[in-house]
Amino acid sequence: MNIIDRINELRLSRGWSVNNLAMEAGITQSTLNSVMSRGTAPKIDTLQSVCNAFGISLAQFFLEDENMELLNDSERLLVNSFRKLPKDKQTALLDLLA
């Protein structure tokens, strides 16, 4: 799998420019442009930020199943907010939803 191609595939499926992706990922546009122009795999923390922007895990990023569903913006916000909660708050929220 070509990581840059995969990033572009996911980016284009959302209709995002490179700048949009950089903003959503919380990384600089120059960092993302550098990765894209070099054509080499980004650092793991950069790739994790990109995955977070897409609302997917690193494992999901590397899945080659075209049927994988991407989260919409509301779902991504929910997942990212959940991840920022302390473990006890995550547990309480899951108990509430069960």
Q: Are 16 and 23 in contact (CB under 8 A)?
A: no
| Residue 62 · residue 3 · CB < 8 Å | no
What confidence tens digit (pLDDT) does each residue in 42-98 have?
A: 999 999 999 999 988 888 898 865 555 667 778 878 888 888 889 999 999 999 998
CA distance 83 to 49: 13
pLDDT at 66: 56
Q: pLDDT-derived band of residue 28, with 50, 70 and 90 as boundaries?
A: very high
Q: How far apart are CA 52 and CA 59, in angstroms?
A: 12
Q: How do residues 46-55 score in pLDDT, each as one tens digit?
A: 999 999 999 8
1 falls in which pLDDT band (50, 70, 90)?
Answer: low
Task: Tell me the domain boundaries of the chain.
Answer: 3-97
Q: CATH for 3-97, among 1.10.10.60, 1.10.260.40, 1.10.150.120, 3.30.360.10? A: 1.10.260.40
Q: Which residues contact 68 (CB under 8 A, 6 or more apart)?
A: 56, 60
Q: What is the C-alpha separation between 80 and 61, in angstroms, rounded?
A: 16
Task: Please give the average per-residue pLDDT across 22-47, as a whole number.
Answer: 91
Q: What is the pLDDT of residue 40?
A: 81
